[in-house]
Amino acid sequence: MTTFDWTTLALGLFGAVGVFVAVVSEVKRRKQERAMEQLQSQVEQQSGSINSLHLASKIDEWGIEDLVEHRPDDSVIRNAIDGCEEIHITCQVDSADWVEHFAKEIRAFLKYGDRLVLNVPDLTRKEVRRELGMDGRFNEDRISELERLTMDFARLQADPAFGSKVILNRLPRCPAYSSVLFIHRNPAASIGYIRLYAHRMHLAHDLPSVHFRHGGRLWRFVEEDLVNVEPR
């Protein structure tokens, strides 16, 4: 074999080795890319999808239907009252017009329903009024709304047509939240909503309301808390 032949063979082998190295490098690069893609996907799942699934399960566990500003739409409340067996209201600090606003539905409810309960701070107690006014938590307008709501329920209670179904429960302290439970004979139709209070309430309608269904943790929380609020 001539020197030329050896040189040609060497160049050919060198070229083949180069091609092989390039192929191996490309395979490694692709493996690294896939590994990085998998790692990125895992990170995204941990920070995104997994949390979303976790959140979705919690929403179902707590029975959350919606998060709204102020309170659910009137249509939601009217539908909830329709066919209701019991209504339990706690405080409703920003809804002095509740009885007037839903007068038709409330009177229809009182014909076939069992109980309409209002749990409201006892505004005749100095310590309660002092608590409501601490740090500007509830201003005089809000306290006046509570008085108006209480008087509306007292008038309902005095009505001989259905007054026995109206329960006005004056509390020695101000509840930490406002809530309504609409309890139906069919539990699946029962709904409620709850609103927390800020330390300073300038406009109560800025507070969010959580609208929830029967059977979730929010429903159980409010239902069980009523045991500590309402007389038995």
Contact partners, residue 90, CB within 8 Å, separation at least 6: 119, 120, 175, 177, 178, 179, 180, 222, 226, 229
The string of pLDDT tens digits covering residues 125-171 is 888 877 776 555 666 667 777 888 889 899 999 999 888 999 999 98
Average pLDDT over residues 182-195: 93
Predicted confidence band of residue 21 (pLDDT cuts 50, 70, 90): very low
> Is pLDDT above 70 for 48?
no
* Euclidean distance between CA atoms 197 and 131, whole angstroms: 13
pLDDT digits (tens, 9 = 90+) for 51-82: 666 777 888 888 988 887 777 788 888 999 99
Q: What is the pTM of this model?
A: 0.73
Q: Where exactly are the structural domains of the chain?
A: 1-62, 65-229
What pLDDT, on the 0 to 100 scale, is given for residue 88? 95
> What span, in angstroms and rounded, lies between the C-alpha atoms of 78 and 108?
11
Q: What is the CATH number of domain 65-229?
A: 3.30.870
pLDDT at 166: 95
What is the pLDDT, as a whole number, of residue 93? 61
